[in-house]
């Protein structure tokens, strides 16, 4: 439970305990001060006041006793003297009653129930003694005022004086009770004044000890758990990847541990992505943990940029390699048909096309298929196109490539030993050299042809057109050369035959008599080197001087 308690809850609980103990100290102090104040109030406002009132009552009783005794001894005197005596008695009784009220105070019902202590008993005894003494004293005064001095003296001696003495004794007993209460309150106040500092110091010591224990516990619990995190963060700052923190509490420290582990995972992902980039792998993307994960977002952008750059470089290298290999494939080839077939085969294999054909322009501006790659001839398909006929003729007419993604079912197919299928994409590219269409290249594939393939075609078709044009020109020159050589050989053969014929004729002429002069055509025949155009005989090789 404490392990999963949040740090704020722990600190709050510790602070609450300290505050509670401090509140206990304050409450104890206030309680002690209140009790001490109560004791002092009891001493000052209760005991001392009552004792002062008792002293006043005792003085009043003594004065009353003196007045009565003096009246009994001296007599009442005249009327004015009697009035003074009565006034003195009345004043004394008033003082007594006032002091008595100060002692009794105002009692509630609850207070009446508590008057079973010694003070209450003594007060009752005092009331009885005061009532008895008051009644006897009035009889004594009445007898004195009546002139019955002897009876008054006897009554005073026998009854009034003992009652007055009893009254005074009861007052002394009540005074002793209040003195005892005053002593008890004083002792309690002194004991409280001596005990409270010790109690406050004890509670303060307990508070300090508990505060230290709580502080040490919180410090150790935090230090024990935060120290590995500090080391973890230090290793991360040095570029290391420590073992993940194994803290599964639900408090702030556990949340911090999870955050550090998440940071480690993020850095590890970046490091692994960096290693993949170093190996040339850009396909695995790194996902940001939030919209504000700027590091991962920036690294993802870098990865995308490198991926695009690498793809572009690979595409360019692939195109350059294709150009180089294409040149190597065509180098040294002079035959037009073989050249076209080699070019078609290379392009089909290089771009991974499954079918293809190459058409060359003839003198009548028609396009004849001269090369094919995995091409299956079908009855309903022709191999000769004129400008504008079909995709081949249309590409040649427009002098623009045509890319078809939805190839008709009855068009070109890709066949194998187990079946045939329609290509998913088809490209028809005219071969143009100096604004003259030399031929048309047609390739089909199961997969869409990439931009790199189309770019390669744009680079190679012009070159192929030039090579085909050169091969065509070379073939024409060779044809003319062969024709010329054949004609020269034929002329040499004819000349040799004529020389042999002339030699035989000369031999015959020497053997026979000299013939008559030849006619005009024959003379022309001899002058034109025996040309058949000047001989009247069709078979001039068999002609003789005699026939002429």
What is the 3-class SS of 306-325, one letter each residue? HHHHHHHHHHHHHHHHHHHH
Report the relative pairing of strands 436-445 and 425-433 from DSSP bridges.
antiparallel
Structure tokens at 367: 């396009």
Q: Which CATH number fits domain 7-215: 3.40.50.720, 2.40.110.10, 1.20.120.1730, 3.40.50.10880?
A: 1.20.120.1730
On the CB side of 254, CA atoms within 13 Å amount to 12
**What's the confidence (pLDDT) of residue 36?**
67
**What's the confidence (pLDDT) of residue 124?**
77
Candidates 263, 246, 255; CA nearest to 8 is: 255
Structure tokens at 442: 């047609």
d(CA 440, CA 357): 8
Structure tokens at 494: 């004819």
Residue 469 has a CB neighbour count (10 Å cut-off) of 19
**What's the confidence (pLDDT) of residue 429?**
92
Judge contact between 384 and 366, C-beta under 8 A: yes
Candidates 533, 355, 349; CA nearest to 446 is: 355
Q: Is 192 helix (H, G, I), strand (E, B) or coil?
A: helix
Q: In the chain, where does the domain assigned CATH 3.30.450.40 lie?
A: 337-475
d(CA 446, CA 449): 9
Name, in order, each residue with C-beta under 8 angstroms of 342's C-beta and a sequence gap of 6 or more. Answer: 329, 330, 333
**What's the confidence (pLDDT) of residue 545?**
40
Phi and psi at residue 225, to the nearest 5°: -95, -30
d(CA 422, CA 410): 9
Q: In the chain, where does the domain assigned CATH 1.20.120.1730 lie?
A: 7-215
CATH of domain 337-475: 3.30.450.40
d(CA 353, CA 358): 13
Characterize 118-148 residue by residue with b for buried, 16 or more Cβ atoms within 10 angstroms of its Cβ, and e for exposed.
Answer: ebeebbebbeebbebbbebbeebbebbbeee
User: Partners of 430 in the beta sheet?
Assistant: 440
DSSP 540: G
Judge contact between 210 and 18, C-beta under 8 A: yes
Sign for the CA dihedral angle at 46, 52, 55, 59 comes to negative
d(CA 186, CA 127): 28
**What's the confidence (pLDDT) of residue 116?**
42
Sign for the CA dihedral angle at 89, 92, 94, 100 comes to negative
Judge contact between 469 and 433, C-beta under 8 A: yes
**What's the confidence (pLDDT) of residue 275?**
79
Distances (CA, A) of 361 to 279, 412, 500: 49, 21, 48
Judge contact between 348 and 339, C-beta under 8 A: no
Judge residue 45's burial from the number of C-beta atoms within 10 Å of its C-beta, 0-12 exposed, 13-18 middle, 19 or more buried: exposed
Between the CA atoms of 183, 184, 185 and 190, what dihedral angle is there, to the nearest 10 degrees? 90
Is 0.85 surpassed by the pTM of this model? no
DSSP 365: S
DSSP 514: P
Residue 494 has a CB neighbour count (10 Å cut-off) of 10
Profile the chain (548 residues) by mean pLDDT over runs of 10 residues. 63 77 77 69 64 74 78 71 72 72 54 52 75 77 77 80 82 78 75 77 82 82 81 83 76 78 80 76 70 74 80 87 88 83 91 90 88 72 84 90 77 63 84 89 86 87 86 84 90 90 84 57 45 45 43
Strand order in the sheet with 384-385: 384-385, 367-373, 355-361, 436-445, 425-433, 402-404
Structure tokens at 115: 């008057």
Strands (E), 367-424: 367-373, 384-385, 402-404, 414-416, 419-421
d(CA 18, CA 301): 54
């Amino acid at each position: 439970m404490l392990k999963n308690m949040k740090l704020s809850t722990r600190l709050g609980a510790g602070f609450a305990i300290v505050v509670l103990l401090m509140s206990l100290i304050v409450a104890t102090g206030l309680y002690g001060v209140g009790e001490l104040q109560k004791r002092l109030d009891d001493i000052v406002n209760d005991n001392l006041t009552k004792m002062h009132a008792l002293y006043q009552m005792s003085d009043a009783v003594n004065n009353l006793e003196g007045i009565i005794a003096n009246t009994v001894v001296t007599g009442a005197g005249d009327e004015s003297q009697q009035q003074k005596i009565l006034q003195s008695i009345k004043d004394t009784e008033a003082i007594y009653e006032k002091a008595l009220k100060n002692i009794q105070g105002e009692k509630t019902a609850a207070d009446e129930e508590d008057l079973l202590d010694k003070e209450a008993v003594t007060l009752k005894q005092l009331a009885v003694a005061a009532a008895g003494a008051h009644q006897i004293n009035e009889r004594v005064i009445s007898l004195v005022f009546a002139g019955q001095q002897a009876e008054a003296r006897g009554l005073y001696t026998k009854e009034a004086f003992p009652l007055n003495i009893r009254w005074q004794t009861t007052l002394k007993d009540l005074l002793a009770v209040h003195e005892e209460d005053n002593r008890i309150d004083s002792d309690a106040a002194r004991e409280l004044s001596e005990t409270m500092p010790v109690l406050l110091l004890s509670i303060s010591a307990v508070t300090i000890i508990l505060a230290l224990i709580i502080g040490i516990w919180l410090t150790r619990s935090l230090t024990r758990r935060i120290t590995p995190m500090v080391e973890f963060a230090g290793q991360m700052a040095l570029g290391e990847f420590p073992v993940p923190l194994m803290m599964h509490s639900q408090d702030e420290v556990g949340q911090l541990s999870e955050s550090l582990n998440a940071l480690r995972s993020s850095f590890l992902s970046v490091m692994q992505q960096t290693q993949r980039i170093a190996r040339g792998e850009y396909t695995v993307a790194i996902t940001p943990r939030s919209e504000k994960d700027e590091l991962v977002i920036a690294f993802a952008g870098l990865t995308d940029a490198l991926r695009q750059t690498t793809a572009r470089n690979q595409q360019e290298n692939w195109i350059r390699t294709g150009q180089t290999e294409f040149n190597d494939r065509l180098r040294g080839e002079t035959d037009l048909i073989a050249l076209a077939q080699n070019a078609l085969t290379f392009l089909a294999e290089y771009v991974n096309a499954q079918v293809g054909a190459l058409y060359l322009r003839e003198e009548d501006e028609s396009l004849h298929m001269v090369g094919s790659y995995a091409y299956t001839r079908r009855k309903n398909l022709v191999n000769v196109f004129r400008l504008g006929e079909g995709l081949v003729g249309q590409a040649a007419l427009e002098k623009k490539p045509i890319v078809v993604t939805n190839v008709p079912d009855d068009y070109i197919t890709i066949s194998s030993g187990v079946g045939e299928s329609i290509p998913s994409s088809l490209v028809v590219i005219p071969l143009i050299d100096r604004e003259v269409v030399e031929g048309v290249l047609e390739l089909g594939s199961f997969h869409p042809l990439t931009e790199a393939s189309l770019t390669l075609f744009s680079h190679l078709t012009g070159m192929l057109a030039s090579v085909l044009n050169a091969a065509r020109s070379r073939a024409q020159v060779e044809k003319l050369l062969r024709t010329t050589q054949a004609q020269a050989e034929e002329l040499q053969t004819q000349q040799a035959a004529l020389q042999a014929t002339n030699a035989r004729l000369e031999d015959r002429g020497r053997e026979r008599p000299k013939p008559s002069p030849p006619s005009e055509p024959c003379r022309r025949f001899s002058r034109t080197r025996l040309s058949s155009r000047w001989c009247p005989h069709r078979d001039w090789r068999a002609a003789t001087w005699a026939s002429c």
